Structure 1
Amino acid sequence: MESLVLALMNYPAAISLVPKAFNPGIASPTWITRKLLLHAVLQHAPALKGKLLDFGCGAKPYKSLFSVDEYIGVDFQGEGHDHSNEQIDVYYDGKTLPFENDSFDSIFSTEVFEHVFNLPEMLDELNRVLKPGGQMLITCPFAICEHEQPNDFARYTSFAIRHLLQQHGFEVVQQEKLGTSVQALWQMRITYWNLHVLYKLRNIPVIRSGARLFFNSMMNAAAWLCNAILPFSNDLYLNNLVLARKK
């Protein structure tokens, strides 16, 4: 409860610094997923303290949500993702993190684990560089299309991600499914239409922009309404969120 209160107090300033791509308006095809992720990270960010490692940091889109002493971003230089205009402090080779043992008080990683081809090995590395008792906040998708091809390797159920963490030196402090079954189904429908139907208008920029604005706004609004009135289920969901602690 205390972390939620602190998050809400910092909400206006912190949210205003998050890039639009990660805090989109209702006309965005990723509005459902991005809003769920943003609010979840904001709520749990106060749990991370001291010297923080952002694993797979990219452009560090959620950096403003954290109040830490030092924020260091590490990423992998590989195909499938363009790192230009990003804020990477250190690159790693895909196998070993270039830091001493017990270097960090906390770790944050969002929407990265599905791109790590050797996740069990990297979980050992993350455990190694995290101080005993340090906490790690992660999110990773469950229902999502392939992306950043060919660097897309896995989808983890809530049970699988918990098992992996426990097998590699972490205890799960808190775990959440982000998004309901209704939201997941609507998000996939919206994604399909944007990638395979509205995309055909790409050579008519004005019409395409207008069509996307109208279609995405209407579909996102319909998703919100359906989610409010239909029976709750999260057997199918959009993202995993886990707060874990090094044993």
Structure 2
Amino acid sequence: MFNPRVFGLFTNPFYISRRALFKKIQFLSQYIYGDVLDIGCGKKPYISLFSHARTYVGLELNTNESKIYSKADFFYDGSVFPFPDNSFDCIVCNQVFEHVFNPSIFILEIRRVLKPHGQILITVPFVWDEHSQPYDFARYTSFGLSSILKENNFKIRFQFKTCPDISAFFQLLNSYIMKITENYLSFFRKFIILFIVSVSNIIGYILGFLLPDNPDFYLDQVILATNQKLT
């Protein structure tokens, strides 16, 4: 699901978004090193990209659902991370920031456990439907997210936008189709994926290469930033 290959064009309704996000995280993973904390790790879908790290620790909210379905190593109360100051060389935070009600407090806690000059790799959706309801609180423009990071003494090294082209439209179409058919019988959903969603995937993927980009309309942001604290 999170690293779809070519066959995923025919089976994965989120192929366009997931493939683009994976490629950007893969590129930036070379800058992640040492002891790594994955905040909101879920099932750690990108852990294979950080096999060069010394340790890879997953952190999740302390909920029954997280304890059952996630692969977290530690759980927290949504406020204070259960680690001493300067515990990690790098932090990974994928598709979590939009679920944080108090982003300034969240960023301060990240800075506390991140070593001086440590790296943070963060991804957030921009154009996407509400999800994980009712805990979906915000969408951030590229300017909004970079401003929050800079205000908290992070220096941005890379900032990417995924699918800044017409493929984003076809991904949203697929998301819409899956949403309105979520109560259909499994057989009908598989039929829809194979004969409708897959066609949308293919058309979107091809047109994304052929037509001009629109950098103001995209699916996700991917940022790598350096913690500039001195101690």
Alignment TM-score, normalising by the size of structure 2: 0.92
C-alpha spacing 1:133/1:123, structure 2 compared with 1 (3 Å): same
CA distance in 1, matches of 2:212, 2:161: 16
Match of 2:130 in 1: 146
2:53 pairs with 1:68: yes
Unaligned runs of 5+ in 1: 1-20
Match of 1:28 in 2: 12
Check whether the contact 1:58–1:83 (CA below 8 A) recurs between aligned residues.
Answer: no
Specify the code of the residue in structure 1 equivalent to 2:210: I
CA distance in 2, matches of 1:157, 1:118: 17
2:37 pairs with 1:53: yes
Number of residue pairs matched by the alignment: 223
CA distance in 1, matches of 2:126, 2:221: 7
CA distance in 1, matches of 2:182, 2:69: 25
Question: With CA pairs under 8 Å and 6+ residues apart, which has the higher RCO, 1 or 2?
Answer: 2
Specify the code of the residue in structure 2 equivalent to 1:244: A
Specify the code of the residue in structure 2 equivalent to 1:213: L
Unaligned runs of 5+ in 2: none
2:149 pairs with 1:165: yes
Q: Percent identity?
A: 37
CA distance in 2, matches of 1:133, 1:119: 21
CA distance in 1, matches of 2:126, 2:67: 24
CA distance in 2, matches of 1:207, 1:117: 37
Equivalent of 1:128 in 112, 132, 144: 112
Equivalent of 1:238 in 199, 219, 222: 219
Tell me the CA shift for residue 160 of structure 1. Answer: 0.5
2:17 pairs with 1:37: no
Check whether the contact 1:124–1:169 (CA below 8 A) recurs between aligned residues.
Answer: no
Write out per-residue CA displacement over residues 117-172 of structure 1, whole angstroms, 9 at most, x where no aligned residue: 11110100101111101111111100110000011111010000100001112111
Match of 2:116, SS? strand
CA distance in 1, matches of 2:69, 2:61: 15
2:181 pairs with 1:207: no
Write out per-residue CA displacement over residues 187-245 of structure 1, whole angstroms, 9 at most, x where no aligned residue: 1111111211x446x13x32331222111110000101221222221211000111000
2:98 pairs with 1:117: no
Match of 1:84 in 2: 68
CA distance in 2, matches of 1:131, 1:217: 44
Check whether the contact 2:165–2:211 (CA below 8 A) recurs between aligned residues.
Answer: no
Match of 1:13 in 2: none
Tell me the CA shift for residue 78 of structure 1. Answer: 4.8
